[in-house]
Amino acid sequence: MSVNEAISRLTEEQANQEAQQLRTKLKQWATEYYTYDNPSVEDSEYDATYQQLVELETAFPTIIVPDSPTQAVGDNTLPEFTKVRHEFQMLSLGDVFSTTELSEFIQRLITQGVKPEFNCELKIDGLAISLRYENGLLVQGSTRGNGQIGEDITKNLKTIPSIPQKLTKPIDIEVRGECYMPKSSFVKLNEQRQADGLEPFANPRNAAAGSLRQLDAKVTAKRKLSTFMYNVADYSDLQATTQSELLAELATLGFQINDTYAVVDDMDDIDAFISKYQEQRDDLSYGIDGIVIKVNDLATQMSLGNTVKVPRWAIAYKFPPEEAETIVRDIEWTIGRTGVVTPTAIMDPVTLAGTTVARASLHNPDYLIQKDIRIGDTVKLHKAGDIIPEISAYIASKRPADSQVYVIPDICPSCGSELVHLDEEVALRCINPKCPAQLTEGLAHFASRDAMNIDGLGPKIIQQLFDKQLVNDVAGLYTLSFDNLITLNKFGEKSANNLLTAINNSRSNSLERLLYGLGIRHVGAKAARLIAQHFGSMAAIMAASADEIALIDTMGEVIADSVVTYFKTIEAQALIVALDEVGVNMNYLGPTSAKLAATDSSFNGKRVVLTGKLQAFSRATATEWLENHGAQVSSSVSKKTDLVIAGADAGSKYTKAQELGIEIWDESRFEATMNSEE
C-alpha cells in the first residue's frame, strides 16, 4: 500500500491526530536545529517527516492550522539577541526530492507562461543572513529568525573577512545570502571541541550558526566563517534584470558570490547541472545539500511572488542522503592526551560517498547510549556535513535476537583507573596523570611540529620507548642514549643518530614551543606564543596569577585559569625542574613585539590612516600594533591610502576617504581583525 493509499483510508479525525503528532515532532526538531544549532535527527529524517505532514494536509485541507510548520516558521531566535524586524520578509525555499517533482514544478511555471530561462545555483549548507547597507556602509546584519523577525548579529558578522564593510557604491541596499563554515575549519573545530570534552557540531551549518550566534564577537572572529551572497530585498537601485546578472552585480559591489552557477533553458540542462554537482559535492571545500533553481528574469520573479513562506519562482532540489549499511564488530575506546576517552565503532568496510569507511566516531558515552548502538548491529552510515562518517541509526529489523545493551566502561582501558565526568562535560575522562595512554599521546604532542618539533619521533617509536620503559615522561627523552635507541625495532645507527640529534636540537627551542608542548588544556600554539612573549621565562609564567595572564590580549579567563591550575600541581612543577636539569631552554627567544606576524598579516605593506577617537586603545598602541604588522601609518588621507580606521566623531579625514572611495573600517572591525591576527 502506498503512502497516499494509506492516507486515503484515514478518517479526518485520525488524519488530524496524526498531523498533530508530526507537528509536535517537527517543531521540537526545528527548535533543536534552528534555535540551539544542535539537531537530534538527520536532515533527511526531518525532510521525510515534513513531507508526510504535507501529504496529510493536502489530502485533508480542513486539518491545516495556522501554526503548522508547513504554514509558518516558528520563533527560532534566542532571547539573548536584540531582535530585528525584516522590512522585507526573509523567505525559505520549497523543496523537491526527485527530478520528477522538479520537472513538474518547472512544467507548471512554463504552463503559466513563464519564459524557460532558469539560473541553477548550489544550495550552500549554511545559514541565511541579511546585510543592510546605508550609503554603501554596513549598518546591520541579522539572522533569518522566523522570516519576519531575526537576531541582530552585526558585531559578529563584521568579523567575517568576506563581508564588505563598505561597498564600491554608496547605495542603500539589503543583501541576503548564506554564511557557512568551510569543511576544513569544521573538521578542525570539532576535533578541538572533542579534545575539550565538548559536544561536536553535527554539521558545518550548525557549526556556522553556533559560531555566529555568539555573544562574544571574538569567538566568531576565530571561527573562520565565510559567505556567499545571492539575493537582494529590493532591486530598485540595481542594474541587473536577471538573477545571473544580479550575482555578477553583487560581486562588483564587493560581495563574495558563489560563481558556480549556470543559466539553462530546459529540464535536461537542469538535470545535467544537478548530476555534475552531486558528483563533485565531496570535492568542494564547503558543504552543499542541493541545487537551487530560480526563474532567471527578475521582473517575472516579482510577478510570480511568494506563498506565505516560499517564493513561487524558485525551488530547492535536495540531494538524496548518501547512505550505506554495515555491521558494527567492536567498539574501541581511545584515550586522548587530555584524558578524554572516545568510543569508535569498528565496522565491516563499506564504500560511502566515494571512500571506504570502517570506523566511525561515536563521540561520547551519551551519544552511544542515545543511539543504542550495540556490537553486532547493522547500522546506517552517512557523512556528517558531507565529510565525517557517522552512524545515523541501527536497523531494528536486523538486530540479532541475542543482542545485548552495550555497557559503557567505568575504568580506563589503558591504566584501569576509574573514569569520571568533569563538571558538566559529556566526555568521559581518565584523570590519572600517569595513565600510559595519555602519556604516549602527550609525548606525541610534545614532539609534534608546532611544539618541540622532534623529527622522527612518531607514535610507533613512542610506544616502543614506553613499552621498553626507556621513557616515562617528556623529560626522559633527553636522557636517551644511542645504546637505548639502537635496541628499538627497525632502528639502525643512522636513525638512532638522527633522532638523537633532533632531540638534542629541541633543547634550544624558544619557550613557546615548550609551553605548547606541555599540553596544558586550552593552551594552543598561539596562546602559548603570546604568553611566552609576554612573560619571557618559564619562571615568570609559573609565578604569574590568573589575572595577570588574562590581561594579555585575547587570552581570557579560561586559558589563564588553566595555566595557573596546571602549574599548581606538584607533577607539573617536578616536570619543569626535570626538563631544566636536562638542559631544555626555559626562555623566550623570539622577537619581543608582535613583529613576527608582519609578513602573514593582512596589514603588511598597507598605508593606513587612523582617525577619530578609538575606544579600546590609544592611538599610539594602535599605531604600534599596525607598524609591527607591516603597515605604514600616516596622518593624512591621500589617493595612496589603502585603509582608514575611523573611531568615534571622525571628521574631515573620514569625508575625504569617502570621496576618494578608500576602504573605511570602524573600530570594531579593526579590533576583530587584530584579534584574529593577534
Known catalytic residues are: 123
Region near ligand IVH per CB under 6 A, out of 20-28, 56-64, 119-127, 478-486? 119-127
314 or 452, CB closer to ligand IVH? 314
> How many of the other CB atoms lie within 10 Å of CB of 20?
14
Region near ligand IVH per CB under 6 A, out of 116-124, 402-410, 504-512, 528-536? 116-124
319 or 478, CB closer to ligand IVH? 319
93 or 597, CB closer to ligand IVH? 93
* 462 Ramachandran zone, left/alpha/beta (phi>0; psi -120 to 50): alpha
Determine which residue in the list 231, 243, 244, 296 makes contact with ligand IVH, applying CB under 6 A: 231
Q: Does 292 bind ligand IVH (CB under 6 A)?
A: yes
Cell representation of residue 60: 485533508
Please give the torsion angle defined by the CA atoms of residues 462, 465, 469 and 472, in that order, rounded to the nearest 10 degrees: -40
Q: Which residue has the cell 577619530?
A: 612
Region near ligand IVH per CB under 6 A, out of 55-63, 206-214, 309-317, 419-427? 309-317
Q: Does 295 bind ligand IVH (CB under 6 A)?
A: no
Region near ligand IVH per CB under 6 A, out of 77-85, 88-96, 134-142, 548-556? 88-96
Region near ligand IVH per CB under 6 A, out of 308-316, 443-451, 575-583, 610-618? 308-316
Helix axes 267-280, 99-111, angle to 10 degrees: 150
178 or 441, CB closer to ligand IVH? 178
128 or 633, CB closer to ligand IVH? 128
> How many of the other CB atoms lie within 10 Å of CB of 526?
16
Number of residue whose CB is nearest ligand IVH = 128
For the beta sheet containing 261-264, the strands, ordered from the edge strand earlier in sequence to the opposite edge, are: 95-96, 314-318, 288-295, 118-124, 261-264
Tallying the residues shown for the chain, one arrives at 678
In the complex, minimum distance from the CB of residue 123 to ligand IVH, in angstroms, rounded to a whole number: 4
Q: CA 303 to CA 311: how far, in whole Å?
A: 11
b/e per residue 352-385 (b: at least 16 CB within 10 A): bbeeebeebbbbbbebbeebebbebbbbbbbbbb
Q: Does 93 bind ligand IVH (CB under 6 A)?
A: yes
Q: Does 386 bind ligand IVH (CB under 6 A)?
A: no
In the complex, minimum distance from the CB of residue 311 to ligand IVH, in angstroms, rounded to a whole number: 5
- Pattern 164-203, binding to ligand IVH, x per CB under 6 A? --------------x-------------------------
Q: Does 287 bind ligand IVH (CB under 6 A)?
A: no
Region near ligand IVH per CB under 6 A, out of 98-106, 121-129, 185-193, 495-503? 121-129
In the complex, minimum distance from the CB of residue 367 to ligand IVH, in angstroms, rounded to a whole number: 27
Burial of 34 (0-12, 13-18, 19+ CB in 10 A): buried
Q: CA 534 to CA 540: how far, in whole Å?
A: 9
Strands 378-384, 388-394: parallel, antiparallel or unpaired by DSSP? Answer: antiparallel
Cell representation of residue 45: 529524517
Residues that contact ligand IVH, how many (by CB under 6 A): 14
In the complex, minimum distance from the CB of residue 201 to ligand IVH, in angstroms, rounded to a whole number: 17
In the complex, minimum distance from the CB of residue 306 to ligand IVH, in angstroms, rounded to a whole number: 7
163 or 335, CB closer to ligand IVH? 163
Residues 6 or more apart whose CB falls under 8 angstroms from that of 455 comprise 498, 502
In the complex, minimum distance from the CB of residue 231 to ligand IVH, in angstroms, rounded to a whole number: 5
94 or 413, CB closer to ligand IVH? 94
Please report, for residues 193, 459, 541, the alpha-carbon distance to residue 525 in angstroms, rounded to integers and kept in the order given: 16, 20, 16
342 closest CA partner among 462, 191, 446: 191
CB 427 within 8 A of CB 364: yes
In the complex, minimum distance from the CB of residue 353 to ligand IVH, in angstroms, rounded to a whole number: 20
Region near ligand IVH per CB under 6 A, out of 117-125, 385-393, 454-462, 486-494? 117-125
Region near ligand IVH per CB under 6 A, out of 16-24, 89-97, 202-210, 464-472? 89-97
Q: Does 145 bind ligand IVH (CB under 6 A)?
A: no
89 or 510, CB closer to ligand IVH? 89
CB 43 within 8 A of CB 97: no
Longest dimension (CA), the chain: 86
Q: Does 316 bind ligand IVH (CB under 6 A)?
A: yes
In the complex, minimum distance from the CB of residue 91 to ligand IVH, in angstroms, rounded to a whole number: 4
In the complex, minimum distance from the CB of residue 89 to ligand IVH, in angstroms, rounded to a whole number: 9
528 closest CA partner among 563, 493, 502: 563
Q: Does 274 bind ligand IVH (CB under 6 A)?
A: no
Phi, psi of 628 (to 5 degrees): -65, -25
Q: Does 123 bind ligand IVH (CB under 6 A)?
A: yes
Determine which residue in the list 35, 92, 464, 632 makes contact with ligand IVH, applying CB under 6 A: 92
Determine which residue in the list 43, 121, 386, 512 makes contact with ligand IVH, applying CB under 6 A: 121
Please report, for residues 75, 429, 436, 472, 489, the alpha-carbon distance to residue 464 in angstroms, rounded to integers and kept in the order given: 57, 25, 12, 11, 8
CB 506 within 8 A of CB 450: no
200 or 311, CB closer to ligand IVH? 311
Determine which residue in the list 15, 73, 102, 128 makes contact with ligand IVH, applying CB under 6 A: 128
Residues numbered 472-491 forming contacts with ligand IVH, rule: CB under 6 A: none
Q: Does 277 bind ligand IVH (CB under 6 A)?
A: no
In the complex, minimum distance from the CB of residue 77 to ligand IVH, in angstroms, rounded to a whole number: 15
Strands 632-634, 607-611: parallel, antiparallel or unpaired by DSSP? Answer: parallel
DSSP 293: E
Q: CA 480 to CA 469: how far, in whole Å?
A: 11
Q: CA 121 to CA 328: how far, in whole Å?
A: 38
50 or 588, CB closer to ligand IVH? 50
Determine which residue in the list 26, 30, 91, 225 makes contact with ligand IVH, applying CB under 6 A: 91
In degrees, rounded to 5, the angle at the alpha carbon of residue 108 between the alpha carbons of residues 103 and 114 is 110
Cell representation of residue 660: 576618494
In the complex, minimum distance from the CB of residue 171 to ligand IVH, in angstroms, rounded to a whole number: 20
In the complex, minimum distance from the CB of residue 190 to ligand IVH, in angstroms, rounded to a whole number: 22
88 or 482, CB closer to ligand IVH? 88
Full DSSP string of 195-250: HTTPPPPSSHHHHHHHHHS-S-HHHHHHT--EEEEEEES--TT----BHHHHHHHH
CB 118 within 8 A of CB 262: no
Q: Does 311 bind ligand IVH (CB under 6 A)?
A: yes
Region near ligand IVH per CB under 6 A, out of 43-51, 120-128, 445-453, 460-468? 120-128
In the complex, minimum distance from the CB of residue 71 to ligand IVH, in angstroms, rounded to a whole number: 16
Binding site for ligand IVH (CB under 6 A): 91-93, 121, 123-124, 128, 178, 230-231, 292, 311, 314, 316
